[in-house]
Amino acid sequence: MLDIKFVREHKEEVVENIKKKFQEEKISLVDEVIRLDQEIRECKSKGDQLRQQRNEKSNRIGSLMREKKVDEANKIKEEVSNINQELVTIEEKENTLSASLKEKMMVIPQMMDQSVPIGKDDSENVEVERFGEPVVPAYEIPYHADIIESFQGLDKEAAGRTSGQGFYYLIGDIARLHEAMIAYARDYMIEQGFTYCIPPFMIRSNVVTGVMSFPEMEAMMYKIEGEDLYLIGTSEHSMIGRFQDQIVKESDLPICLTSYSPCFRKEGGSHGLEERGLYRVHQFEKEEMIVLCKPEDSMEWYEKMWRYTVEVFRNMDVPVRQLECCSGDLADLKVKSCDIEAWSPRQKKYFEVGSCSTLGDAQARRLSIRTKGEKGTYLVHTLNNTVVASPRGLIALLENNYQEDGSVKIPKVLQPYMGGLEVITPKK
């Protein structure tokens, strides 16, 4: 969410930013919020004047009563009462206008970084760099569900009975490999100086609307019936929410946290759910990272964070690329974002396994996360990035380490988490 003062003083830039995101229907909001802000400031000014008049008259009442001028004092008391009634009306109007202003301001997109490529949708995202050689072996790579089933490692039929479509059981070596990836990602991030955290897996609505836009919330989040609680779609939500309404010490910045959590998503819409596979499911697990930092440090952290994900996947022998999100594919709260995509030798193309974003002060403004230093109190910047999310990370690992005899090599970094196993073999 932008600062209304910024909108007032940089109206043309805000409008141009909206145009670059191909959201022309929101342009009219800019004039609306400027008008609402003007009315609110007029209400505040009028209210201040009335309070000053009330104070002066109230002091006068005391003097008149001491002078035994009761009739005159009673007359002024009536004037004070009228002022109080007028103040109530003005304050109610101000509250209504402020609520309307906030609602509209939350729809106006965050200002993008100048480096964001302009494009209408994800088809115009820009490949920046590749890491590792994408190899297509001479032998066929089966569909990932078939690979997993050859290890007796997947049961979607039973999950359908217990939970419905979009859920799954992982079993045996496959379940162990899944957890090995998460554990390795955790330890890798701890080695980078991040503090490990396990957050709440449910959050209140005020935290949800603080960390994401309403359309995103409706499309993603599961609400607990009869409770003001939502299942998290990613641990970023509760991790950032931890600092709501807090003033963190400037000396504590940057705050670097890595977190484990299950994630729950509706995955509705055009993408749908996979009948057999694990690419789009309602539940998955993830190792995440977040950073709270000074505004001047956020872009440096952005560059560091996505490279951590690249290194994790390269250490698991998975070729990846960085794909920069264009303006039309950039969520409204984000300043800049990129996807890390893994190579699929079966499909002979890349697919998304993680996303890194800097949100500037958007989440901090919504949640009132501030820091205090020599220059006074100001909003921090927040960033988030996926270290590893599984099953997608698991799919990439299996395909890129699949061998012609049906076995799967265990990358060296994962072997300690697999009891020293160097390879897993299908079940007869």
Q: What is the pLDDT of residues 327-358, one digit of tens each?
A: 999 999 999 999 999 999 999 999 999 999 99
Structure confidence at residue 270 as a pLDDT band (50, 70, 90): very low
Q: How confident is the model at residue 375 (pLDDT cuts 50, 70, 90)?
A: confident
Residues with Cβ within 8 Å of residue 375, at least 6 apart in sequence: none
Mean of pLDDT values over 81-110? 94
pLDDT at residue 73, rounded to an integer: 84
Q: Are strands 255-264 and 195-197 parallel, antiparallel or unpaired?
A: parallel
Rounded to an integer, what distance in angstroms lies between the CA atom of residue 21 and that of residue 119?
8
**Res. 424 pLDDT band, cuts 50 70 90:** very high
Per cent of the chain over pLDDT 70 is 98
First-to-final CA distance of the chain: 57
Q: Determine the Cα–Cα distance for residues 30 and 362; give it in Å rounded to an integer.
A: 17
Asked if 406 contacts 425 with a C-beta cutoff of 8 angstroms, the reply is: yes
Model pLDDT, residue 256: 98
Phi and psi at residue 122, to the nearest 5°:
-65, -15
Structural domains in the chain? 4-105 (1.10.287.40), 122-424 (3.30.930.10)
pLDDT at 201 > cutoff 70: yes
Q: Tens digits of per-residue pLDDT, 154-174?
A: 999 999 999 999 999 999 999
Per mean pLDDT, which range of 51-60, 106-115, 272-281, 312-321 is the poorest? 272-281
- How much is the average pLDDT of 407-418? 98
Helix, strand or coil, per DSSP, at residue 167: coil
Give the burial string for 155-184 (b: 16+ CB within 10 Å, else e).
bbeebeeeeeebbbebeebbbbbbebbbbb
User: How confident is the model over 314-332, as a mean pLDDT?
Assistant: 97
Percentage above 90 pLDDT, the chain = 85
Closest CA to 263 of 287, 239, 284, 242: 284
Average pLDDT value for residue range 386-408: 97
Overall average pLDDT of the 20-39 stretch:
97
Confidence of residue 273 (pLDDT cuts 50, 70, 90): low
Residue 395's φ and ψ, nearest 5 degrees, are -60, -45
Interatomic CA distance for residues 255 and 330, integer angstroms: 25
Least confident of 104-108, 260-264, 266-270, 411-415: 266-270
Q: Decide which of 269 and 151 is more confident.
A: 151
Would you say residue 124 has pLDDT above 50?
yes
Run of H or E including 236? helix 235-241
Q: Are 241 and 268 in contact (CB under 8 A)?
A: no
Q: What are the helix (H) ranges across 261-419?
A: 298-315, 362-367, 392-400
Give the Cα separation of 256 and 192 in Å (integer). Answer: 10
Of the two residues 280 and 258, the one the predictor is more confident about is 258
Backbone φ and ψ for 374, nearest 5 degrees, come out as -60, -30
